[in-house]
Amino acid sequence: MNPPRQAQPPSFSAQEFRAALGMFATGVTIVTARTADGRVVGLTANSFNSVSLTPPLVLWSLSRAAASMAVFSAGSHYAINVLAADQKALAERFATRGADRWNGVTFTEGAGGAPLLDGAAATFECFNRSRYEEGDHVIFVGEVERCAHRTGASPLLFHGGRYFTEHPL
């Protein structure tokens, strides 16, 4: 029996890899949760995707070095807020380290206390079902307990390292 095949070392730099990944246009989300002591946390993420319809599962990933890793790893619930085109400033704020992310942000409380951002194009309230450590990130799989969307809302897009409020032609 042959030993399992191993991946070859990459033939490209980290910058080349990032540039190639940037060619995949994504939506933009803010993932939110509440700490055990009641504080709200959130961060911008574009690593969101569906996994399964039955049961309803979604995934997102977070850098192992993220300051909020302990909150998302230990918490029972989080919410994924898919941003609308008019929420670019919110995406930028929640992507900035050290920013006062929650100042003036309006939200309602979702499952397990996770904030649901007012004006989001869609929301997914998730039970923190499982986590997988891969490379320099942790992949979170959430079981969706509730979801909602705004009919007619245009999504905020991210492509080539830039935000777009309409499809880049």
Distance CA 23, CA 131 (A): 27
| Predicted pLDDT at 1 | 74
| Predicted pLDDT at 127 | 97
Q: What's the distance, CA 93 to chain centroid? A: 14
Task: Note if the bond before 115 is cis, omega within 30 degrees.
Answer: no
Contacts of 108 (CB under 8 A, 6+ apart): 115, 116, 118
Q: What share of the chain is helix, strand, coil (3-state, %, to 5)?
A: 15, 40, 40
What are the chain's domains? Answer: 26-143 (2.30.110.10)
CB neighbour burial string for 123-133, b if at least 16 within 10 angstroms, e if fewer:
bbbbebeeeee
| Predicted pLDDT at 116 | 98
The separation between the first and the last C-alpha atoms of the chain, rounded to the nearest angstrom, is 52
Q: What is the pTM of this model?
A: 0.92
Residues of the chain with pLDDT under 70: 167-169
| Predicted pLDDT at 169 | 52
| Predicted pLDDT at 167 | 61
